[in-house]
Structure formats: structure tokens, C-alpha cells
Structure 1
Amino acid sequence: MNTTPSPPPNTRPRATRREWLGLGVLALPTLLLSLDMSVLYLALPHMAAELRPTGAQTLWIMDVYGFMLAGFLITMGTLGDRIGRRRLLMIGAAAFGLASVAAAYSTSAEMLIATRTLMGLAGATLMPSTLALISNMFRDPTQRAVAISLWTSCFMGGTAIGPLVGGLFLQWFWWGAVFLLGVPVMLLLLVCAPLLLPEYRDPDAGRLDLFSVALSLAAILPVVYGLKTAAEGGSGTASLAAIAIGAAMGTWFVRRQLRLRHPLLDLTLFRSRPFSAALGVMLVGAVTMGGMNFLLVQYLQLVAGNSPLAAGAWMLPPVLVMIAATLCCASLARRVGRATVIGGGMFVTGVGFLVLVFVSADSGTVPVVLGLLLASVGLGPGAALITDIVVGSAPPEKAGSAAAMSETSGEFGIAAGVALLGSLAAVVYRTRVEVPGEVSVGAAAETAGQTLPGAASVADDLPPAVAAELLTSAQEAFTMGINVIAVGGVIVMVVFGSLALWLLRGADTAQPTEAQGEPEPAARETGEPVAADLTPVGAAPPAETGATGFARTDESVSPSEPVRPQADSDDTTGRTR
């Protein structure tokens, strides 16, 4: 029997000018969403002066956007697979633009919380849709790696420039103007998307299981809430209870997905070792960098003595160098392999953490920025390549679900890093700080003994000599916490860098039916090649063989058998064919 092998990767359809212009359209909402996570930091005092929120309302204004974004990523990524990724992107863009206008003109704290909630919900539709469309538009592996590198650079850049953009806007406009940044971007997206972006969806997606949606929210939101509460110094019992509830709901969610014929989240993706390893490495990187950034921003302001705007400016060089390295990672990976770039980058990050091990309270700004620069350069290119591995290891019809898992891993990692590493640094601080006898009793002593910001606020009301003594001890204790976290970071980067070299060494051939020239199943029978790509809407669906190489045996039927309608069921053994 004659068989025709699938074409090698270098014969995959290459992107045209239209796809590259479409990438520019997709980069805009990515830049905006990441910018919107940090742009409110500098606007918060101006907003608080006008709306006068309570302490709890202030926390919700800051956090609810991230809560909704993290909670709905999986649901929206899978929804895009079902209704069409371009359609969901445009719906989300319109909703985000309207919610931004409402947030800008909020007249009360309650209204701002509600509009920030809608912005987070709309943002959750945009992130996985943009990444999934990139994976569909750029089928050539080399071009896809470059496209994802550009996408990742926009995401990193938006987070870095958020405080600066907020500061510049506040020079001339009122606090609500920071939200209006999204309006022209979303209008441009709505105009250009139908012209430049194709539509894709899973031709056999089935119905959306609403109970699974509820379970996913019940699993994700309590965990994120518990981590953030712990990071903000809230009740330890409440934090642990929230995390435990989320873990229980997550277990229920996983068990349900394994029984459904059309699950909300396709857990068979984790059978791919590159996919699972890449998500794990991404999670570890997000934890370490999320926690370290949280601590270093405080160091630059409260130890090195920089203003908030100056501290934000000092954070730019590491991000700019990281973006430059990220843009070069695709060509470097072609030469030495993605596993080498990712694992080697983690070793470079370990060197950056090693620099931070020796930082002291009087080191100043430059050593801290140097350590952060090395750490960022090491992890930035790896983040782009890991994202490419995640979406490239998934079948094209599951690109939205894979993109959502990638984004959720990053969101969880940052939240966990701030909570866990911030809590560890706080423990070190409390054991090392020495409060002068003049403030050794009462609420002031307790406040100064808990956190460095607390010590700084107490010092404002003390005589100069006592204030200097307190601040010196508090700064040294806080810096010791950074040193301890940095030691752990060095160990983690060496261990997981070595694991990345081992587990991801097959990532460059993560698509066995295509990259290794294996014949597709249908080709073995008919002698004709079968495309393993996702068919655009309106075309006939292709043979259902995913890029992971796993047979979809639970949904395959014999050509001679009639197919009767089949509803989703929790019992996969009771299917009627």
C-alpha cells in the first residue's frame, strides 16, 4: 500500500502580508490589557480623593479586574473555540470599550468596582482569542515563533509602561482619562478585524457546559482571592479556607471534565509532555518573577529612596532589554533548540538572583536594577518560546483552550508569587527588625514591626534620631528578606532550568504527525495526504487528528454507521452510536 507522508514543517503554508498586518491588530489589545493592569497605580490617590472609597472598596477597585480576568480565561478560551475566535474577540472589544468609558466617568466607588468587573470580564475574552488566532494564522512554526515573540513583547511592554503612562496622563487630565486609552484601540480593532483576521472555530465543539463554567469559577476565584488576601496581610485562616475551597472545587471540575464528551477544558492536552512541562516552567517563572518584582519595587522606593515615578523609570531598562532578547529568541532557538534557550535562560535568571543575594540596604539602585535585568533577560525569551510550545502542542481546534491555560498559568503564578514570596519576606522582616524603645509599645510598634511601609509611616511622626534608627533597622530587615528570596530563586532556577533541558528536549518535534514526517492515519489507508489544520469557518472540516498526535477515539465513528444526535453526558459509557 502506498502512503504519502505529511509535508515537513518548512512546506507549511507561510503567512502573507495580511497575516502580519493582522498580528499588528492583535498586538494592540494585548498591549492595552497588560497596561491596564498597572496604569491605575498612580491614579489611585487622585481617584480616592474624588470618590472617597473605603479601604475594602479600594482593594476591590484594584483587584477585581485581575479576579475576573483570571477567573474567566478558561471559559472564554473554550467559548472562542465554539462560537469563533474572531467573533468573540470583537464582542469582547466592544464590551471593553464601553466598560472603559463607564469606568472613566464613574461617580462612586461602587460604580467603579462594577465597571472594573466588566472590564475584567471583557478582557478575559481578548487574551486567549488573540493568542489562538495567532496560532491559526501562522501555521509555519518559524513564523509562529516570531509572531508569538512579538505578542509576548507587547504584553511585557504594556505592564512596564503602565505607571509611566498613568503619570503622564495625570499631568494634564483627570484620573478617569487613564481608562479612555482603551477606546480608540478597541474602535480600531472593531474596524480592522473583519478585514484582516480570519474566523476559526472547532467544527465539533458541542454545547457549552454551564455547570463546568460555574465549577471553574468556583475553583479559580477563591484561590486567587486567598493568595491576594495573604499577600495583603489579611487573615491567614480566611486565606487558607478560600484556597481549600478552590482546591476542592478544582478537583470536582477535573473529574467532571474527564467524564464529559465535550469538556469545557480538554485535559487530554496534558498527555503531551512538552505541553505539560512548558506550563509547569511558565508557572515557576511567573511565581519567582512576580514575587521578586513585588519586593524590588518597594526596595527602589522605600530603601533606595526613589519617588514612585523614578522607581517606575528604573524598571524600564530591564523590560526593554528583555523585550529585545525576546524578539531575538526565535532565531536563537532555530540554532540551538528551544529547550536550550529556555533552560539556559533560567540559568541566566539564576545569575541575576545571585546578584540580589548580595544586595544590602545601602547598595543603592544600580545593583538591584542589574540583578533584575539579568533575571528578566533570562526568563523573557523563555516565556515566548514556552507560549509557542503550549499553543503548538495543542490541536488547532483546541488553540483557544490551550491559550487560556497558558494565560491562566501566568496569572496564577504572579498571584502566587506575590502572596507566597511576599509572605516569606514578611516573616524574615518580622524576625529581623528591631523597633526602638521609644516606640516599643502600642499600635505604632505593632505597625512598624509588621512591614517596611508600616515602619516608614510610623517614622514620619517620630523625632529625627529615633526615626532614622527605626528606618535603618526596617530597611536592613526588608533587604534581608530579599536576600533570602533570592537564594531560593537561585536554587529554583538551577533545578528547573535543568528539568527544562531534559523535559523540553523534544519540544522542537512536538508534533509527531507533521514534524517527523509520520503519515496521517487517513493517509495510511487511502494513499492521500490529509491536512491536519483547522478549517476556517465555511469550509469542510478536516480529518480530526490533533497536533498532539492523540487519537480522538471517544468521538470517532465508522463511516458505515449512521450518526444520531448525542447529548453531553457525565457517563461516557452510555453513548449511543
Structure 2
Amino acid sequence: MLSVNRTAADSLSRTRRWAALVVLMLPVLLVSVDNTVLNFALPAISEALTPSATELLWVVDIYPLILAGLLVPMGSLGDRLGRRKLLLIGSIGFGLVSVFAAFAGSAGQLILARALLGFFGAMLMPSTLSLLRNIFTDRNERRLAIAVWASAFSAGSALGPVVGGLLLGSFPWGSVFLLAVPMLLPLVILLPILIPESKDPNPGKIDYLSIPLALGTMAPFVFSIKTFAEGANVPLAVITLLIGLACGVTFVRRQLRIESPMLDMTLFRRGQFSGAVLINLLSVVALVGGLFFVSQHLQLVLGLKPFDAALVLVPGLIVMIIAGLGVVPVAKRVRPSIVIPVALLTSIAGYVLVALTGGDIGAYEMMVAFALLGLGIGAAETVSNELIISGAPPEKAGAASAVSETAYELGAVLGTATLGTVLSAYYRAGVVLPEGLTPEQVHAAGETLGGAANVAETLPPDLAATLLESARHAFDSGAGVVAWIGAGLVAAAAIVGVFTLRNAR
């Protein structure tokens, strides 16, 4: 069964199809930049709004909690109401709330704004990918379009620190939110002109009970992972995990029982769909977890400024984009069960390069390692995303896209939480603190490398040098272990590709 406006999509000229792709890249870039740019603004936000530690945590966390929880409901809603309509609503809402966030006068207002950004952001990503599924009906063209889409998403994540460094060097912290306005304005104008509407022609009724069940599954699960990683309140983490599991079981049982499910669970019976989703999840865990320690190593161990550290990652970003586009002609002729594992072998090599040094690695070597990591993951994700979309019926493109995006968001949370927790544990076990520190300084320096760097600024030069040497050595010892774990995650993704994609072409 085809989407209601499939004929309109088929009649689009080649020029209009690729112009539509350019327009659809704007929200992709925006959401991916927004995932990483805020970290650079946190010091300025802390100084301007004086939030408590809990409020500052919610400023960061509320966005991915809402976004991850609503991706599947919004993808399904787009299938029913119209993907272009939902993308237009989400773009206007995201732009207006971004202005509100930029001029927030308190931490509470900023938390509310971030929550609303997660709500409207959940309308953007599934809509862009599902619209591509209906605009590019030729699979060869669609594979290239999805390669561009995946490259834009990766590019935005890596561009976040660069953009943040540039903006905050000259403008107030609100500029990182105002960035949304010039990016979304062309989309709002050109979307109705270039892109035809598409939706499920027989959508059935909207199951309103499934929406809170989906949110109740993902949001507590993501919150639990973050709380476990911080180790501050284990009972709360266990309770929220159980809530998420209970809602998840109820959600799945309901989807299998009702006539018009929000998410067609039979999609997961298709090897290429479930396998590709799992490959995306494991790859993003490895990539984001790697970025977590790479960014700290470059700044806090090697002493690079934030902008200079971001520039070290730019070659890897370029390689990732080239790999995502360059794999398209290869994927036409070689099975995915071969292309994806072979591509991921290069990512394993990048992690092994870091692991063999025990974490004690220079900027140039780190640049090469990140380029190898980006090369494999960039190529693999282009193929896996195309398999997810082509493996789902056109009328279910929104829901399938939402599952892919949920894997991205969950992978980002798991990458920071799991690999970050291992890194923090090794740091706490290995750091040796010099005598003469206050209890507050002992706590700060003993928890994180960043805390040790802040404490060192208040100490005499000799004492500061001793603390920093011990802290950096402890951090790098953990980074070596994390690199081996990252290599294992990528290897697991490659194995999944071999066994689940055997019948995919």
C-alpha cells in the first residue's frame, strides 16, 4: 500500500527532489548541533542565571528525555496527520521556543524551554527521514539521499563544539538558541513549495493511551541510565528503570493487541530492520562514548582550548561525510552483510590505536584515530539507515524513521553513561591527591579530571603540577580501557550485520 501522495512524489523533477533534500537538511543539522552546542554555554548560563546543581542538570537532561520519549508517537502521528504538516508545526514551534530560551530570565524558564524544544524537536527528525522515503522512490537515488541525511546528522554533532566556540567568543549564551531562527526560516517558507504531503492512506484511529506509555517507557529509562552513571541515587535509578520496563511491556502488549497500533511490532520480525536498528544503536554508543573521552583528553590532558580541540575532530568529520557518500556506489553491488562489517573494521582500528597507547596519545594520533572511527561508522550508518527505511512499508515510514531516531538518541545516552561511568570509575580509583587539600577540594579533584583542573588553578604551582600529573595519568588509564570497550561494541555491531543482514540486498 502506498502513501496517499505517492503519485505526486513520483512526478517531482530531479531538480526539485534534490532541492527538497537541501531544505530537509536544515532541521537535521539544527537538531544534531543542538545536541552538543549547549555544553559550551553551560558556564555562561551558570553565571547569568545562577541555577542550583539540580537545575543545571535538568537544563541539560530534560531535552533528550522528552525527545527520546516522543519520537515514536510523533513518527506515528506524522503517518496519520501528514509528515509535511507535522514538520511545519515542529519547525515553527522549535523556532519560537528557541527565542524564548535565548531570553530566559531564570533557570526554571530555561528548563521549560528545553522541555518544549524536546517536544517540537521530536516532530522534526522522523518527518525528515520519512519524507525522503516518499520523495525518492528510486532506491539508488534514495540511498544517496539518506547518505546525505546521515552525513548531515553526523556533521551537526561534530559542528556543535565548533559553532559553540565561535558564537560564545563574541555573543551571549542565548546566541546558541537563536541559531535556530535563521536555519528554520527558509524551511518554513520553502517546505510547502518544494515538498508534497505524504501520509498513511488508511491510518486508523490515534491511540491516545499509547502516547503516555511510549513517553513513560523511554523517559524513565533514559533518566535511569543517567542516574546510574552518576552513582548519586541508585534507589531512584532502580525505581525509574522498573517504571520504564513496566510501561514498555504494557506498550508492546497493547501494540500487538489493538487494531491500529502506534508502532507496527511486526517490523521487528524483519531481519534487516531489527538488525539495522541494533547496528545504529551500538555504533552511536561507540561514537558518542568515544567523543566523551576524546574531548576531555584534548582539552584537559593536552591543554588545548575548546575551539582548537574541536578543530582536531574536523578531519574525522570530513572523513565521516565522505565515507557516508562514498559507500553508495559500493552498496549497489555488494551485500549489506559484507559492506557494514568491513566498514566497521576501520572503526575498530581507530579504537585499537587509542587502546594500544593506554590512553596516552597526542593530538595528531587522536585525529587519525577519530578519522578511522568516523570512516567506518559513517559508511555503516548510511547503509543501515537505508535498510531501515526501505525495509518498512511506505505508509509506515514515519514510525520506522522514529525507531531509527530513537536508536540514535538512546545510543547517545548509553554512550555517555556506560563508557563515561567506566572512565570515571578508573579515574577515581587511580588518582592520587596531594596532602594539604581541603575536604571540598578533595571531593572535587577526586571525582573528575575537570574538577582536578579547577582545583589546580587555586593551588601553588608545585602542588598544582603534582595534582594534574596524577589526575591526567588516572584519566588516561581509564581512557585505554574505554577504547577497548568501544572496539568491542563496534565489533558487536559488525557481528550483528553478518548474521541479521544475510538476506538483505
Same fold (TM over 0.5): yes
| 3-state SS, counterpart of residue 175 of structure 1 | coil
- Equivalent residue letter for 1:476: H
Structure 2 CA distance for partners of 1:359 and 1:236, relative to 1, 3 Å: farther
Pairwise CA distance, 1:14: 8.7
Q: Look up the match of 1:7.
A: none
Pairwise CA distance, 1:126: 0.7
- Equivalent residue letter for 2:481: V
2: CA distance, partners of 1:168 / 1:421: 29
Q: Is the 8 A contact 2:130 2:401 kept in 1?
A: yes
Structure 2 CA distance for partners of 1:495 and 1:432, relative to 1, 3 Å: same
Q: Is the 8 A contact 2:282 2:492 kept in 1?
A: no
Query: After alignment, is 361-370 or 338-347 more displaced?
Result: 361-370
1: CA distance, partners of 2:244 / 2:68: 13
Aligned pair partner of 1:225 in 223, 226, 230: 223
Q: Look up the match of 2:3.
A: none
1: CA distance, partners of 2:12 / 2:387: 19
Pairwise CA distance, 1:233: 4.6
2:498 counterpart of 1:501:
yes
| CA offsets 1:508-552 (integer angstroms, 9 cap, x no match) | 1xxxxxxxxxxxxxxxxxxxxxxxxxxxxxxxxxxxxxxxxxxxx
Structure 2 CA distance for partners of 1:331 and 1:14, relative to 1, 3 Å: farther
Aligned pair partner of 1:445 in 442, 445, 465: 442
- Equivalent residue letter for 2:448: T
| CA offsets 1:379-424 (integer angstroms, 9 cap, x no match) | 1111111111001100000000000000001110110111111111
Pairwise CA distance, 1:37: 1.8
Q: What's the TM-score once normalised by structure 2's chain length?
A: 0.94
| CA offsets 1:15-49 (integer angstroms, 9 cap, x no match) | 62211111111111111111122222222222322
| 3-state SS, counterpart of residue 137 of structure 2 | coil
2:472 counterpart of 1:492:
no
1: CA distance, partners of 2:493 / 2:262: 30
Pairwise CA distance, 1:103: 1.4
Q: Is the 8 A contact 2:102 2:177 kept in 1?
A: yes
2:248 counterpart of 1:250:
yes
Q: Look up the match of 1:575.
A: none
Q: Is the 8 A contact 2:87 2:123 kept in 1?
A: yes
Q: In the TM superposition, what are the counterparts of 1:83-232 in structure 2 within 5 Å?
A: 83-232=81-230
1: CA distance, partners of 2:104 / 2:48: 10
Q: Look up the match of 2:6.
A: none
Q: What's the TM-score once normalised by structure 1's chain length?
A: 0.83
Aligned pair partner of 1:417 in 397, 415, 419: 415
Pairwise CA distance, 1:78: 0.2
Pairwise CA distance, 1:259: 0.6
Provide the aligned C-alpha RMSD in A: 1.8
2: CA distance, partners of 1:216 / 1:424: 29
Q: Is the 8 A contact 1:15 1:143 kept in 2?
A: no
Percent identity for Structure 1 against Structure 2: 42
Q: Look up the match of 1:76.
A: 74
Q: Look up the match of 1:454.
A: 451
2: CA distance, partners of 1:17 / 1:427: 53
| CA offsets 1:461-510 (integer angstroms, 9 cap, x no match) | 333223222221221111111111212233333343133123213221xx
2: CA distance, partners of 1:361 / 1:121: 39
Pairwise CA distance, 1:457: 2.4
Q: Whose helix proportion is higher, 1 or 2? A: 2
Query: After alignment, is 229-238 or 195-204 more displaced?
Result: 229-238
Q: In the TM superposition, what are the counterparts of 1:273-292 in structure 2 within 5 Å?
A: 273-292=271-290
Q: Look up the match of 1:341.
A: 339
Q: In the TM superposition, what are the counterparts of 1:541-552 in structure 2 within 5 Å?
A: none
2: CA distance, partners of 1:173 / 1:89: 30
1: CA distance, partners of 2:176 / 2:439: 40
Pairwise CA distance, 1:335: 3.1
- Equivalent residue letter for 2:378: G
Q: Is the 8 A contact 1:318 1:369 kept in 2?
A: yes
| CA offsets 1:91-116 (integer angstroms, 9 cap, x no match) | 11111111111112222222121122
2: CA distance, partners of 1:408 / 1:445: 39
Higher alpha-carbon Rg: 1
Q: Is the 8 A contact 1:14 1:143 kept in 2?
A: no
Q: Look up the match of 1:322.
A: 320
Pairwise CA distance, 1:198: 1.1
Unpaired runs of 5+ in structure 1? 1-11, 509-577
2:466 counterpart of 1:469:
yes
| 3-state SS, counterpart of residue 507 of structure 1 | coil
Q: Is the 8 A contact 1:14 1:139 kept in 2?
A: no
2: CA distance, partners of 1:490 / 1:25: 36
- Equivalent residue letter for 1:97: G
2: CA distance, partners of 1:104 / 1:432: 41
Q: Look up the match of 1:53.
A: 51
The count of corresponding residues between Structure 1 and Structure 2 is 496
2: CA distance, partners of 1:361 / 1:74: 38
2: CA distance, partners of 1:191 / 1:43: 30
Structure 1 consecutive aligned stretches of length 4 or more whose deviation exceeds 6 Å: 12-15
2: CA distance, partners of 1:363 / 1:153: 27
Pairwise CA distance, 1:171: 3.4
Q: Is the 8 A contact 1:209 1:263 kept in 2?
A: yes
Structure 2 CA distance for partners of 1:499 and 1:164, relative to 1, 3 Å: closer
Q: Look up the match of 2:370.
A: 372
| CA offsets 1:209-248 (integer angstroms, 9 cap, x no match) | 1111111111110111122233345323322322222112
- Equivalent residue letter for 1:464: P
Q: Look up the match of 1:297.
A: 295
Pairwise CA distance, 1:184: 2.6
2: CA distance, partners of 1:347 / 1:436: 43
2: CA distance, partners of 1:495 / 1:71: 26
- Equivalent residue letter for 1:256: R
Query: After alignment, is 408-417 or 359-368 more displaced?
Result: 359-368
2: CA distance, partners of 1:199 / 1:382: 30
Structure 2 CA distance for partners of 1:495 and 1:105, relative to 1, 3 Å: closer
Q: Is the 8 A contact 1:342 1:382 kept in 2?
A: yes
Pairwise CA distance, 1:13: 8.2
- Equivalent residue letter for 2:486: G
2: CA distance, partners of 1:317 / 1:381: 15
- Equivalent residue letter for 1:479: D
Pairwise CA distance, 1:459: 2.3
- Equivalent residue letter for 1:209: D
